[in-house]
């Protein structure tokens, strides 16, 4: 069925999942070696991508204008990043940050165009990475920069697909998600992601309670439009000074707070984004770089350096290379040009998933992508981790014509196959490939 290149391509898919997990695992043993580990894991994947380029790009989406424009904008970020290298620190940022961002993360979308690759990704995470992740429950203080929440972040996707699974697998997913939710109550992003994932999964029950597929599809489409239009409206309101979504706490008479891991009080609605947005836009204005940004590993002055109780003045002595916001990072590195293309790709993927699919799962993924579109203005910073990997995977799922065309019964079979250790449907997988 497969030629030599195809076999290597399929086998290398296992390394994709392992390599995104390895930095977190190695940090438990060798704290502070994140750059070396990331390079050791990332660059073999880039080599495999180049080696298998004929198989990788032999898909329907190779002519997709939204994806190609996004890849083109990443190429501009990469090239400009080369000219931003002025020190060893800049070289490290380029090798660990800019190169994976532009040459690896987007191409995960191409990998997922082979449904068998998606099955491998999900199966290896569920049966191998997830059990190993339990280590981080007990030794999380050793893995600087990584936590149990970060490592098990793909659980969001498993929550969405859980309606198709047996009671045993549903129980496992629910248990992991509950542990993740309460593991760190100061991680607002994780808590919101889990809640949204469950809300999306509950829509699977609409048909059982008498809500027609037509009404469900219409509801999904309305939610998609609202989610993707909201950032534009909120940006306009923020720029004009009418309403700042990040400063909601200021308009409340009282605010909720919890104790963090250091036993200090932390407000749940504290504004941690207005300042970093101001830093980025001030830097873009000073360098007259609104349209094309600062380029790869381009840095901004950070007002965090004035905080007395932290060592940000040392960390960001040469400037801040990225923020906690994925969309703001694209604004910083690629300006209006790259950020708009990234948002267009998310918008198009969500549209295809909801409007051009025959099964609930892909439509649910479309809702998740639309939600991630607005959430990227707050969180989802591009790191070499499972969260970034599975964000690209979901976009790839939405763009996959084969998966969108599957009927409800076919999709159920496709997903259930992943959770069978003894694969009894190899013919089905081969046909999908």
The pLDDT tens digits of the residues spanning 310-361 come to 555 555 667 888 898 999 999 999 999 999 999 999 999 999 999 999 999 9
Reported as a pLDDT band with limits 50, 70 and 90, residue 254 is low
CA distance 340 to 311: 34
The pLDDT tens digits of the residues spanning 351-397 come to 999 999 999 999 999 999 999 999 999 988 888 889 999 999 999 99
Residue entry with tokens 């873009």: 284
The SS3 assignment for 265 reads strand
Nearest to 24 by CA among 315, 384, 381: 384
CA distance 414 to 406: 9
Please say if the pLDDT value at position 258 is more than 70: no
**Cβ-based neighbour number of residue 118 at 10 Å:** 23
The pLDDT tens digits of the residues spanning 283-294 come to 999 999 999 999
Mean pLDDT, residues 228-251 taken together:
78
Nearest to 160 by CA among 148, 147, 174: 174
pTM: 0.90
The pLDDT tens digits of the residues spanning 132-179 come to 998 888 876 655 567 889 999 999 999 999 999 999 999 999 999 999
The pLDDT tens digits of the residues spanning 1-49 come to 455 666 777 778 888 999 998 888 888 777 767 788 889 999 998 988 8
**Do the Cβ atoms of 302 and 318 come closer than 8 Å?**
no
Two structure tokens written together for 286? 């000073």
Please say if the pLDDT value at position 431 is more than 50: no
Higher pLDDT residue, 7 or 122? 122
CA distance 28 to 379: 25
Let me know if 125 is exposed, middle or buried by CB neighbors in 10 A (0-12, 13-18, 19+): buried
Most distant CA pair in the chain, distance: 66
Q: What angle do CA 259, 261, 262 make, to 5 degrees?
A: 85
Please say if the pLDDT value at position 296 is more than 60: yes
Reported as a pLDDT band with limits 50, 70 and 90, residue 253 is low
The pLDDT tens digits of the residues spanning 81-112 come to 999 999 888 998 899 989 999 989 988 999 99
Mean predicted lDDT score pLDDT of the chain: 85
Nearest to 274 by CA among 252, 301, 244: 244
What percent of the chain shows pLDDT beyond 70? 85
The SS3 assignment for 266 reads strand
Two structure tokens written together for 73? 């904008």
DSSP label of 421: S
């Amino acid at each position: 069925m497969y030629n030599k290149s195809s076999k290597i391509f399929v086998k290398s898919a296992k390394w994709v999942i392992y390599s995104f997990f390895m930095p977190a695992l190695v940090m438990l043993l060798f704290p502070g070696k994140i750059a070396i580990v990331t390079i050791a894991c990332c660059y073999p994947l880039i080599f495999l991508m180049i080696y298998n380029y004929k198989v990788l790009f032999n898909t329907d989406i190779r002519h997709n204008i939204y994806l190609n424009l996004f890849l083109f904008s990443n190429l501009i970020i990469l090239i400009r990043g080369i000219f931003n290298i002025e020190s060893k620190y800049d070289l490290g940022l380029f090798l660990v940050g800019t190169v994976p961002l532009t040459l690896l993360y987007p191409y995960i979308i191409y990998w997922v165009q082979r449904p068998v690759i998606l099955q491998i990704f999900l199966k290896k995470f569920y049966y191998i990475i997830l059990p190993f992740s339990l280590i981080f429950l007990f030794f999380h203080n050793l893995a600087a920069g990584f936590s149990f929440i970060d490592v098990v972040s793909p659980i969001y996707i498993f929550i969405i697909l859980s309606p198709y699974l047996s009671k045993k697998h549903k129980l496992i997913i629910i248990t992991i998600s509950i542990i993740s939710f309460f593991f760190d109550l100061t991680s607002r992003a994780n808590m919101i992601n889990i809640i949204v994932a469950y809300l999306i999964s509950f829509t699977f029950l609409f048909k059982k309670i008498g809500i027609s597929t037509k009404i469900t599809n219409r509801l999904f489409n309305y939610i998609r439009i609202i989610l993707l239009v909201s950032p534009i409206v909120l940006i306009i309101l923020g720029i004009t000074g009418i309403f700042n979504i990040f400063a909601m706490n200021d308009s409340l008479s009282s605010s909720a707070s919890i104790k963090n891991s250091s036993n200090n009080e932390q407000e749940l609605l504290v504004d941690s984004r207005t300042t970093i947005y101001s830093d980025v836009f001030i830097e873009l204005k000073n360098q007259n770089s609104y349209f094309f940004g600062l380029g790869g590993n381009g840095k901004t002055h950070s007002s965090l350096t004035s905080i007395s109780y932290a060592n940000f003045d040392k960390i960001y002595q040469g400037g801040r290379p990225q923020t906690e916001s994925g969309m703001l990072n694209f604004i910083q590195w690629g300006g209006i040009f790259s950020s708009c293309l990234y948002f267009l790709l998310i918008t198009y993927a969500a549209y295809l998933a909801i409007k051009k699919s025959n099964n609930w799962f892909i439509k649910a993924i479309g809702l998740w992508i639309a939600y991630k579109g607005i959430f990227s203005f707050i969180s989802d910073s591009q790191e070499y981790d499972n969260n970034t990997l599975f964000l690209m995977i979901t976009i790839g799922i939405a763009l996959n014509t084969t998966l969108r065309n599957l009927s409800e019964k076919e999709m159920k079979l496709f997903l259930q196959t992943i959770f069978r250790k003894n694969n009894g449907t190899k013919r089905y997988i081969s046909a999908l490939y």
